[in-house]
Chains A and B, each alone.
Chain A
Amino acid sequence: MRFIPHTEADRQAMLAAIGVESIEELFHDVPKKARAVEFRLPEPLTEMEVLVELNQLAEANAGTHHYACFLGAGAYNHFVPSVVDYVISRGEFYTAYTPYQPEVSQGTLQAIFEYQSMICALTGMEVSNASHYDGATSLAEAVIMALNVHRRRRRKIVLSPAIHPEYRAVVRTYTQGMGLTILGDGETAHQDLEALTDLTPLADLVDGETAMVAVQVPNFFGQMASPQELTRLAEAAHQAGALFTVVVDPISLGLFKPPGEYGADIVVGEGQALGGGLSFGGPYLGFFATRRKQVHKMAGRLVGETVDTEGQRGYVLTLTAREQHIRRARASSNICTNQGLMTIAAAVYMAALGRRGLRRVAELCYHKAHYAAQRIDALSGFQVVGRRPFFKEFVIRTPRPVHEINAYLLDEWEIIGGYDLEQDYPRLTNHMLLAVTEMNSREEIDDLVTALEEATQ
């Protein structure tokens, strides 16, 4: 089948119209050696042959269907009920583009509105946007919002070193050239776990130039902070006129206090855990919620509920004057899109589980993680590190380098091991971050314990 509608005569007519002899001539600015690259492709295959080949390639992956997974560090192997894929695969929802025209998009707009409402309920915030690309971009947008709230007159941002390293890197990428001073995470090369997770030094960095203070709860190491110490930090931020932002694991909110109750002005995070699946790294979902009084500085799309001329309930995009297509260079952000499909997946997930279901998932994670931690801590040579309570992830000190242990787990036990913390925190040599979710059976955890024990022999 031919996919190019133009005939040779069409092409000649177009070339003649612009006064060019050949199509080749249009590319004269591109160096010769970069043109007409010869692709050494294999001979064409039938559909049946292609399927066989692709299946073979897929089998080569170490996926969570066949392997026990204890790797987290920002992306988590949670159960995705089949109702999620069923609903988002419906033709009305299954599109990469989010249709926003209210005349034809009431279903999508209502689903996004419900997503927003549930994110607000979960985080204790008043307004949620229609989402960003992932947790990291949500945090970067929170930084930009804090700058805008202060009319770009404040230039300091305080980030806890226990925020996901990639999130902090994305904040720096987003804000390069803005002349910001980012404080709080400059000493990670020299800090041990206690120093990295101590919130008190952050309050001392806050002054009248600070636009925002951000922490992660549970932090990158899986640890919780007490509502009292979080409230103290929020108060320190507020006293200086700065915003307090919390990066949060949405599943943890099934069990723990929402950030809205300890003074957060902005709550962001990765929504992949809410029905998104690991999907080899994407698409993911950045959720973003804030207080109503700041809504005019919020980035992203926002769906609101209203009534039509006949008084019937309906949904529309609202407060769009913040956005780039209206405000141009002075828009609150460059983001004019969202993760439409993942947003709906999260809405379906939250609706399907409900308050009690989410609590049950969080409890399973908590108890299984604590069972695993207790058993590993009892192994000779291994030790659970850190005094703080944790949720579903915890740090262990290992008797051998983490990458060696992980290779052994993968090759000999078909277990995907934990995250090697030395990659981001040089002082944390032989420190592994393990994640345990409701997906890890007791048998898997017991296998991990046995495998770790054997890895030292």
Chain B
Amino acid sequence: MILDPDARYTKTHEWARWEDDELVIGITDHAQEALSDIVYVELPAVGEHYEAGESFGVVESVKAASDVYMPVSGEVTAINEELEDSPELVNEDPYGRGWFIRIRPDNPADFDELLDGAAYEAVVAEEEG
């Protein structure tokens, strides 16, 4: 399992990472691997506001369709439009070109409450039993 050392994580397999004063959000390497070939990513509209834990999009693979959840509350400032035509980027580069959205968090300190890499690895290990 690949982790991004700069990112923090959620139990629902999203990651968040600071870029300037905004957070970039995507799904983890573990999540993309579990989903297998991703065929469609549905993203919100720029300007929409979501609470932490609220579903902001859907990712569909050949095996399943899953909601993706906000790691922290905030307003969407950008979406990765490349995913519309190339959803496979999520498989190829989950922490890079496969990002989902950028948000302006309501409370930047919320980021610190997210799981660090080690804690996320423990969550995955527990799920896999």
A321 touches B67 (CB 8 A): no
B44 touches A296 (CB 8 A): no
A321 in contact with B44 given A326-B65, A327-B65, A330-B67 (CB within 8 Å): no
Contacts of A322 in B (CB 8 A): 65
Nearest CB in chain A: distance from B48 CB, A: 8
Contacts of A296 in B (CB 8 A): 40, 42, 58, 60
* A33 at interface by CB-CB < 8 Å: no
* B34 at interface by CB-CB < 8 Å: no
* B64 at interface by CB-CB < 8 Å: yes
Measured in the bound complex, the distance between the Cα atoms of B40 and A321 in whole Å is 10
Nearest CB in chain B: distance from A4 CB, A: 42
Nearest CB in chain B: distance from A74 CB, A: 35
Interface residues of B in 45-90 (CB under 8 A from A): 48, 55, 58, 60-61, 64-65, 67
Measured in the bound complex, the distance between the Cα atoms of B28 and A346 in whole Å is 47
Contacts of B60 in A (CB 8 A): 296, 321
Contacts of A330 in B (CB 8 A): 65, 67
The residue in chain A whose Cβ has the minimal distance to the Cβ of B60 is: A321
Nearest CB in chain A: distance from B121 CB, A: 28
Q: For this complex, into which size category does the number of interface residues on chain A fall?
A: under 10
* A151 at interface by CB-CB < 8 Å: yes
The residue in chain A whose Cβ has the minimal distance to the Cβ of B65 is: A321
Contacts of A327 in B (CB 8 A): 65
Measured in the bound complex, the distance between the Cα atoms of B44 and A451 in whole Å is 61
A151 in contact with B44 given A321-B65, A326-B64, A330-B67 (CB within 8 Å): yes
Measured in the bound complex, the distance between the Cα atoms of B16 and A212 in whole Å is 34
Measured in the bound complex, the distance between the Cα atoms of B120 and A365 in whole Å is 68
The residue in chain B whose Cβ has the minimal distance to the Cβ of A150 is: B45
Contacts of B40 in A (CB 8 A): 296, 321
Measured in the bound complex, the distance between the Cα atoms of B39 and A322 in whole Å is 12
Measured in the bound complex, the distance between the Cα atoms of B82 and A199 in whole Å is 40
Contacts of A153 in B (CB 8 A): 48
Contacts of B67 in A (CB 8 A): 330
Nearest CB in chain B: distance from A207 CB, A: 17
Nearest CB in chain A: distance from B94 CB, A: 19
Nearest CB in chain B: distance from A393 CB, A: 41
A151, A153, A296, A330, most chain B CB atoms within 10 A: A151
Nearest CB in chain B: distance from A109 CB, A: 19
Measured in the bound complex, the distance between the Cα atoms of B55 and A327 in whole Å is 14
The residue in chain A whose Cβ has the minimal distance to the Cβ of B59 is: A321
Contacts of A326 in B (CB 8 A): 64-65
Measured in the bound complex, the distance between the Cα atoms of B55 and A153 in whole Å is 12
Interface string of B98-128 (1 = CB under 8 A from A): 0000000000000000000000000000000
Contacts of B55 in A (CB 8 A): 151
The residue in chain B whose Cβ has the minimal distance to the Cβ of A153 is: B48
Interface string of A328-359 (1 = CB under 8 A from B): 00100000000000000000000000000000
Nearest CB in chain B: distance from A324 CB, A: 11
Nearest CB in chain B: distance from A438 CB, A: 44
The residue in chain B whose Cβ has the minimal distance to the Cβ of A295 is: B40
Measured in the bound complex, the distance between the Cα atoms of B58 and A326 in whole Å is 13
Measured in the bound complex, the distance between the Cα atoms of B66 and A330 in whole Å is 9
Contacts of B44 in A (CB 8 A): 151
Interface string of A314-326 (1 = CB under 8 A from B): 0000000110001
Measured in the bound complex, the distance between the Cα atoms of B55 and A151 in whole Å is 9
Contacts of A321 in B (CB 8 A): 39-40, 60-61, 64-65
Interface residues of B in 6-37 (CB under 8 A from A): none
Interface string of A414-445 (1 = CB under 8 A from B): 00000000000000000000000000000000
Interface string of A118-129 (1 = CB under 8 A from B): 000000000000
Nearest CB in chain B: distance from A13 CB, A: 40
Interface residues of A in 118-161 (CB under 8 A from B): 151, 153
Contacts of B64 in A (CB 8 A): 321, 326
Measured in the bound complex, the distance between the Cα atoms of B60 and A284 in whole Å is 33
Nearest CB in chain B: distance from A297 CB, A: 9
Contacts of A151 in B (CB 8 A): 44, 55
Can you name 16 A-B pairs with beta carbons within 8 Å? A151-B44, A151-B55, A153-B48, A296-B40, A296-B60, A321-B39, A321-B40, A321-B60, A321-B61, A321-B64, A321-B65, A322-B65, A326-B64, A326-B65, A327-B65, A330-B67
Q: Besides A327-B65, A330-B65, 15 other CB < 8 A contacts? A: A151-B44, A151-B55, A153-B48, A296-B40, A296-B42, A296-B58, A296-B60, A321-B39, A321-B40, A321-B60, A321-B61, A321-B64, A321-B65, A322-B65, A330-B67
- Please name the 4 residue pairs, one residue from A and one from B, whose CB atoms are nearest each other, closest first: A321-B65, A321-B60, A327-B65, A326-B65
